[in-house]
Homo-oligomer: A and B are copies of this chain.
Amino acid sequence: MGRRRASQLLAGYRQFLLGRPTPSSHEQSISGSYWKLNTWRPCCMFRVSVGTPQASNYLNLGKTYAIKQRSFGSAATDIPRNPAFSNLNADDISYFRTILGERNVVEDEDRLSAANVDWMRKYQGSSKLLLLPKSSQEVSKILHHCNSRKLAVVPQGGNTGLVGGSVPVHDEVIINLASMDKIVSLDKINGILVCEGGCILENLSSFLENEGFIMPLDLGAKGSCQIGGNISTNAGGLRFVRYGSLHGTILGLEVVLANGTILDMLGTLRKDNTGYDLKHLFIGSEGSLGIVTKVSILTPPKLMSMNLAFLACKDFTSCQKLLLEAKRALGGVLSAFEFMDSHSMDLVLSHLDGVRSPLPSSLYNFYILVETTGSDETYDKTKLEAFLLRSMEEGLILDGVVAQDINQSSSFWRIREGISEASVKVGAVYKYDLSLPIDQFYGIVEEMRNRLGEAAKVVGYGHLGDGNLHLNIMTTRYDSDILAQIEPYVYEWTSKHKGSISAEHGLGLMKANKIHYSKSPETVQLMVDIKKMLDPNLILNPYKVLPQSCFN
């Protein structure tokens, strides 16, 4: 693919910008299937509705093997039950009924079935009890009892995790905060929201949007996931590049510790330098140090202007430079900078019906989605277009188009969001969620492509703005020889280049034993010491996050 002169590109870009046809029927058909439960979405953008009739059908156990075969990463090894844990007995259940009332102590098999398995049906527990507390005090009483009886528990939110962190491994008591879904307060001057941990993210978003604010995080799973779970997993999502980590936006937490202590850290202040800021221990600890029962979060003002550009670059260096320029030129309004390679585009075009390239004249090496959100429609658009024209003149962009309406925006996002769905249509897919330094971001994709040759199709895409790569490796069927070529190589390579083997999904059960690829022995030891201090009986979400060998 030769490089065209900037003036030609510019002319082509302008023509496309002004003359782009209205959405065709395939785009309508896309939107029709957009939220279907069995549609594969990118790993941070899925949506499930656990507990609905559709979800019950979807969670039919008979499908487990087929799905496992389609999406295979680091499967959990068989972990023996910790013999120090007690077995649940009738007295325990009577006690829980006394605390919670009859209907919030669930032994119904169908409901337990749904709560015992993750949405991918990759991890399966055998809990006999699901508890639904309605207050922090009830959570406290449950944990106090479980701790004194050495009954293991698994905290569960929307059960939308991807690493097996939210389902039992054995017979842990499931504590789900779905009934703790109240909004406590909103400071309308500063946008500080206080709510219970069981609030569903989408409900919070809807509430805030009516008040002129938005949540600083947005996930495809927002229709099911709970804010307490988001915090416990330190969820990243689509607004990370704009609003940053939850460590920056969470102002306070109320957490119940393993022994039932209610830890009140529910500040609503932007600044508070009185002692150690302990709330951060619980952000991303995957429910293994405490259960998040209340949340105070800083929410940004709602902005009305949104623009989206779909761009082509000749090489990865251009993508890097474009990111730098975008941060400089669009700093205040940049809200997404998403990346995919030609193999990703080819995959989507080949396997998803009704998807077409917004830049059909060629298959380019790399594609970038740049989104801005701001307060001034005309200015934001002018600013984006000036940035795009400059970038074209500098040769960073080979071609590009700006969405003219919501349908075009949806069709652009559909390509990015469709990669994961398309990847499972090939056969088996090995999925990795890596964080890498920007100069190494694409290296592992090329390495794996060279390493596997004709045996596999390798695609790379993800949140380039955050340094978060999704590496998908596809073969016609699952093959242990292929897996042996991928792992532990992919983890070793990531570790060698100072990356993270889990950018946004956590470790859960899937990668608990792989923490040493991203963390030093001294750091892991301190995590273990903190776990033992806060939860000496190890009842909270056992077998997850940290290697079991650390506790033997």
Contact = CB atoms under 8 A, between A and B. Distances in A.
A264 B511 CA distance: 20
Given A271-B467, A271-B504, A507-B275, A523 B301 contact: no
A488 interface: no
A524 interface: yes
Nearest to A251: B245
A527 B466 contact: no
A166 interface: no
Given A269-B499, A280-B280, A189 B518 contact: no
A517 B501 CA distance: 41
Contacts of A303: 331
A375 B244 CA distance: 20
A467 B269 CA distance: 7
Contacts of A499: 269
Contact of A244 (B248, B321, B379, B527): B248
A173 interface: no
Nearest to A235: B273
A263 B467 CA distance: 24
A281 interface: yes
A403 interface: no
Q: Which of A245, A276, A524 has the most CB of B within 10 A?
A: A276
Interface string A265-278: 10111111111111
A270 B376 contact: no
A437 B328 contact: no
A271 B188 contact: no
Contacts of A468: 270-271
Interface string A299-327: 01101000000000000000011011001
A189 B274 contact: no
A506 B236 CA distance: 30
A113 interface: no
Contact of A273 (B188, B276, B506): B506
B502 A189 contact: no
Contacts of A191: 327
Q: Which of A262, A271, A500, A506 has the most CB of B within 10 A?
A: A271
A190 interface: yes
A79 interface: no
Give the number of copies in the complex: 2
A285 to B, nearest CB: 5
Contact of A523 (B263, B300, B502): B263
A324 B186 CA distance: 13
Contacts of A261: 522
A486 interface: no
B520 A263 contact: yes
B187 A519 contact: no
Given A273-B504, A329-B375, A323 B383 contact: no
A278 B526 contact: yes
Contact of A245 (B248, B278, B285, B505): B248
A277 B284 contact: yes
Interface residues on A, range: 35 or more
Contact of A272 (B265, B267, B518, B526): B518
Contacts of A522: 261-264
Contacts of A438: 187, 189-190
A354 interface: no
A275 B383 contact: no
Contacts of A498: 267-269
Nearest to A252: B498
Contacts of A526: 263, 278, 534
Interface in A229-279: 233-234, 236, 240, 244-245, 247-249, 261-265, 267-278
A364 to B, nearest CB: 21
A195 interface: no
A27 to B, nearest CB: 31
A51 interface: no
Nearest to A468: B271
A444 interface: no
A515 interface: yes
A499 B245 CA distance: 24
A156 interface: no
A125 interface: no
Contact of A278 (B249, B517, B527, B545): B527
B328 A269 contact: no
A300 B527 contact: no
Q: Which of A187, A438, A498 has the most CB of B within 10 A?
A: A438
19 contacts: A244-B244, A261-B522, A263-B520, A269-B500, A270-B435, A271-B463, A271-B503, A271-B504, A272-B500, A272-B502, A272-B503, A275-B519, A275-B545, A276-B281, A278-B523, A278-B526, A278-B527, A303-B331, A533-B533
Closest 10 A-B residue pairs measured CB to CB? A248-B248, A332-B332, A280-B280, A272-B500, A274-B518, A271-B503, A189-B438, A269-B435, A264-B520, A271-B435
